[in-house]
Structure 1
Amino acid sequence: MKKISILGSTGSIGTQTLDVISHYPEQYTVEGLSGGHNIKLLAEQIRQFRPRKASVATKELAEQLSLEIPSDVKVYYGEEGLIEIAAGTDAEFVVTAVVGSQGLAPTIAAIEAGKQIGLANKETLVSAGHLVTGLANRRGVRLLPIDSEHSAIFQCLQGERQEQIHTITLTASGGSFRDRTRDELKHVTVEDALKHPNWAMGAKITIDSATMVNKGLEVIEAHWLFDLSYDQIEVLIHPESIIHSFVEFKDYSVIAQMGLPDMRVPIQYALTYPNRMKTPAGRLRLKDIGRLHFREMDFSRYPCLRMAFESGRIGGSMPTVYNAANEVAVERFLKGEISFLDIERVIEQVMAEHEPVAFPDLPAIFEIDKWARLAARNVMPQL
């Protein structure tokens, strides 16, 4: 049996990972779960999957959780709790599905401990790609992508040589507002932004999809995962989300990975790699789909994606700033403090104020992340 720990078990990726595991109880055992603030759902997961360790956000929540679960489960909290679930269990495979840069420290701890990583926390590579990939190489740890786009590229490259790649193309649904003009975005609400047409995701990633920051983070992540220049990475809007991404080789042959939009497929592939097993997902029947559509990416319509490429090409600490400023801007939008279009303005202003550091170490990354968050909170909303 493969032993698994999950960081972010109560989120969208975490719950779907446990759904995949539940279909093969003879194949997996759950060693650790972290659940943030949702202790009701976490308690249900603990009673079903019986991990040895669990973690929540605060000491108070840990005390509350301890009253609702079997007494033999050890409960931790805070960043130390995340690190314990990542590196302090007998798990050989760790799914990192927490949202945002809080996933960086526990992912590094898991790699240091020699755990294989199912990577669903793209901010880890965005904020510290040079450190994370370097450490994984030294420790002999494989980073198996769980994002549907990166899983698609990873699958397309099986049996292929990296030097034969011409370009990769990440497909984008276009998000909640893909059919609206920029003028129509001036007064959209949080409720509007959270209505994703294709995928069931958490609030932060759904907003990121609407601004195209999510695709920008994926571009930076792809740079590190596949060791490609930014000139080799393209983005195409594909409203149906059937082709999850594709690779063009030097002979101009194209290999694409296709399927219905269901995150359980890339999750399971990461868990079972290099094997494949039947999934609870539905089958793709192209005769029922009929037509697939594609649109060229418009960087003036989606300036957050343009800024992602810019931050990636600048490199060093700039992607850390891009990510941190966005996290704060999205938080402020969800709270009603700023408008939807203010998100991109916050990111652009904070990036403009930053002097990039070429090769930041981990303490420097944390300090730069902290600075960027403070700067993003101080950007005033557009009147």
Structure 2
Amino acid sequence: MDPRTLARGAAAAALALGGAGLAPAPASQAAPTAVQATATVRWGTSFDGTVGCSVSGDPSGYESVTLPANGGAVVRNVIRSGNVDDTGAAHRTQTVQRTKATASTRVRNGVPSSVDLLAEGRVGILGAAGNPCGASTFASADQELTFTLDRPLWMTLTSRAGRETGTALRMQDPLGDIKFRFDSYDTATESNQRWLVPPGEYHLIVGVSWFGDAAGGASTSRDGSGRIRVDFAEVGSASTRATGAGVKYAVPRPRVACATGTLPVDFTGKATRVRTATFFVNGKRVRTVRRPRPGASVSVPGLPATRPGTVRVRLVVDPPGKRRKAIVTTARSYRACAAPLNP
């Protein structure tokens, strides 16, 4: 089979969708009370179907490790090998799979915050002259997460894969229905996707993998590398820090009040110097406050429900010294509170 055909389904195949990783949970299974995370390195060797061919050695398998919830990285280095033999093992083609995987999961307040998987390695085939059996081999790393959400969260995926490398994501419910998916192959550019995940119980798996194959008696090798990261965030939460010199006088809070589409902004003790504060949402002026009281909060209206928003505050202040006034600003961006009806 064309290696590109194999590798376009690279991570999807290596995720073992029909295996233990993504098998549907029994309907009677209780919802997990904590996030459960594991990382797995897989390898495999197969032949092209010629009559009399077989595999031997260590042709396929996996190694798994449980991940801590504090974001600590776990590194796995795995080297395995297998054989593809013709009838009677008169000619033996050897395969090798090398994988280094670095995986981490971070959990906050009982829900996932981030999933990060970096993998690299090589697969090789050393053909035996006279062996009519073609050989295929793969190596992969994947990371699994089982969790329950009691509220919607934004899920953002960032992926990058090198040549002949695939990355993939699958997220399913307890019945085995895939709710979110992503596949990428052989692209050096960064891929980004975002989904709003509703409350529920989920099983998430991300993977990086690479393949190689060769006709009977031929040799080949391929290097692979890729990274896939998933970040979770609250709806309406800040996607940036507050920036600008104006933050000394006015501080936008870290989350939009989604029920009202407003954002509280707090004035600091230095606000005694502020003459006026003008508030903008996505470039549109929505409110002006004169001589704000230090320690007071102002509610900024007009945050869009289904689009990200940026709040900018323009402050006219009385600076110390001879200058009669100065203009400073602060700004902060926020995630949407809901998904568009027709994304």
TM-score interval for Structure 1 and Structure 2 normalised by the shorter chain? under 0.3
Q: TM-score, normalised by structure 1?
A: 0.23
Larger Rg computed on CA atoms:
2
Q: TM-score, normalised by structure 2?
A: 0.25
Q: Which has the higher helix share?
A: 1
